[in-house]
Structure 1
Amino acid sequence: MIKGLYEAHLPVSDLTKSIDFYTNLGLELAHKGESVTFFWIEKGKSWLGLWETERVETPYHPSLRHVAFQVELHDIQIAKKWLEERGVQVRETFGFKPEDQPLVLPNHPQSHAAIYFHDPDGNSLEFITPLILDEEIDFSMMELEEWYKRF
């Protein structure tokens, strides 16, 4: 029945600045309102809602303000450079510095390659691509370059 994620929502402090940021990432504007804007992630299939609010700094669990965008393997390999060309800095995550990314996550029985960054309000964003599905391989989190050497 469930085919994928249709929508995710994030709080933002400056809607105009956030519209520029997400447009810069290549998302298509679907609807612009006074205090809420929607971007297509995949037109007709999934979108991201941005809600302008004064309280984006409120403490929160990171998973509540996190969106992962699925990308192809060849795109994850160039994602850091692509983001930096757009003025977006990759962030440290799980103890891996920006220069050590993308990294491979052993989410058993799947493995994914991912790279992490923030939007202007500190919302956690991720590019992610599956590497292995439905197969148990025991390994620790590592850089994608190391993954290619070992597997």
Structure 2
Amino acid sequence: MKPAAILEAALYVDDLAEAERFYGQVLGLDLLAKAEGRHVFFRCGDTVLLLFDPKATEVPPEAGARLPVPPHGAHGPGHLCFSAGAAEIELWKKHLEDHNVAIEADFEWPRGGRSIYFRDPSGNSLEFAEPRIWSFT
């Protein structure tokens, strides 16, 4: 057996309000849910992006909790890559620069496909890349 797809991905952020603004307004993702001081969730295609305050998710749930999610969290920058076609990447680069988001790297992969890298307000490394960078054929 093997998983068919990734349903959700998580990043950990320092400031939930700033993360909500960045992912909602700058990246245009649709807000799904939020819990003050704990998390902000967004829809991204068929996947859900979970943004957590690691201080809140490291705390074990109380006995008998309705949602007994085990503790989790990470410190330091994480990484997430969004899929985009070549023309979209050029548009994203301009859009990010128009929002004062610095592009850290912009290059073509040796096997083909372009990526641009940038950071969210918490320092997580984000990327837009052509899906063909992972072509398995």
Alpha-carbon distance, 1:105 to partner: 1.3
2:94 corresponds to 1:81: yes
Q: Which amino acid aligns with 1:85?
A: D
Find 2:108's aligned residue among 74, 89, 104: 104
Per the alignment, residue 63 of structure 2 pairs with none
Q: Which amino acid aligns with 1:79?
A: W
3-state SS in 1 of match to 2:113? strand
2:45 corresponds to 1:38: no
TM-score (norm 1): 0.67
Percent identity of paired positions between Structure 1 and Structure 2? 35
Alpha-carbon distance, 1:12 to partner: 0.7
Q: State the Cα deviation string for residues 39-78 of structure 1 (Å, max 9, x = none).
A: 1111xx201101113599945xx6xx10000012211123
Contact 1:113 1:130 (8 Å CA) reproduced:
no
Per the alignment, residue 122 of structure 1 pairs with 123
Q: State the Cα deviation string for residues 97-117 of structure 1 (Å, max 9, x = none).
A: xxxx2x11125xxx3210000
Per the alignment, residue 11 of structure 2 pairs with 10
